[in-house]
Amino acid sequence: MELQSPREAAAFALSLLDLTNLRDDCDEAAIDKLCLRAQTSHGNAAAICIWPRFVAQARQILGAGHPVRIATVVNFPSGALSVGEVLHETRRAVEDGADEIDLVIPYRALIAGDEAAVTTMVESVRKACPQSCLKTILETGELKDSALIRKASRLAIDAGADFIKTSTGKVTVNATLEAADIMLQAIRDSKRSVGFKPAGGIATVGDAELYLRLAETVMGPNWIMPSTFRFGASSLLDDILAVLSGNPSVRASAGY
């Protein structure tokens, strides 16, 4: 990955973007807008990430086989639902047309020492959506401890996750480079084909580039692609489009 200019970084970030609306006030009109925003004159986002209740609507808009994939969230944001409840959410989302499932692991149970709760949840959801891309949200800002983040990463990977993701975006601390480094090292050490998704607080092309360079440092050149790396963000697209249109990015205009 050689990004020689902000425009190259912006174009690359666009191809990796899960354009997200998980606001509490999201409605059908917002989903219509999100589906349109994901298809830009500079190229498409990788996916949209939305509440389960809007999956059927998004599928009707985008149609079968659309290059913009539909991701939805389960056990979100608390990570505290029962396995049965989460399986119901997952199966319904797949029936409605979801391509990807972003699952919050039972991180509070893990903090309390219950590793089996994580394994059981991830394995169960994996079996319920065998054809879907399964991203597991670790909620690293709540795990806090580096050893616990490493353990959560390992448990999710061993249980069949296709991606490990930092955050829900609903807590005080979301994606950080420190957590990303730990998670990427866990992927590398597992020697499995698992992707990484930083989410929450990534608002500019400059922010995105920091994560891209870290991933390249840990995983090596040519590892980053939509099947191995995604950004979860709602506002990053605005800065991407500004840069691709030749305007100053938010970071640049702020004097960084």
pLDDT of residue 247: 86
Query: Tokens 């807008």 appear where?
Result: 33
Q: For residue 17, which of 247, 236, 169, 241 has the smallest C-alpha distance?
A: 236
Q: Would you list the domain boundaries of the chain? A: 6-245
Residue 107 pairs with which residues in a beta bridge? none
Is 144 noted as a catalytic residue in this protein? no
Give the model's pLDDT for residue 255. 34
Query: pTM of the entire structure?
Result: 0.96
Q: What pLDDT does residue 223 have? A: 97
Q: Active site residue: 96, 99, 102, 207, which one? A: 102
- pLDDT by 10-residue block (mean), the chain, 256 residues: 82 98 98 98 98 98 97 98 98 98 98 98 98 98 98 98 98 98 98 98 96 97 97 97 87 41
- Range 10-20 burial, b when 16+ CB lie within 10 A, else e: bbbbbbbbbbb
Identify whether 127 is a catalytic site residue: no
Determine the residue type at 108: R
> Active-site residue 27, yes or no?
no
Q: How many angstroms separate the first and last alpha carbons of the chain?
A: 23
Helix (H) or strand (E) holding 43: strand 43-44
Q: What whole-number distance in Å separates Cα of residue 178 and Cα of residue 221? A: 20
CATH of domain 6-245: 3.20.20.70
Catalytic residue among 18, 135, 165, 207: 165
CA angle in degrees (0–180, nearest 5) for 185-166-209: 75
Pairing of strands 39-40, 43-44: antiparallel
pLDDT at residue 249, rounded to an integer: 76
Active-site choice (96, 99, 197, 239): 197
- What pLDDT score was predicted for residue 5? 87
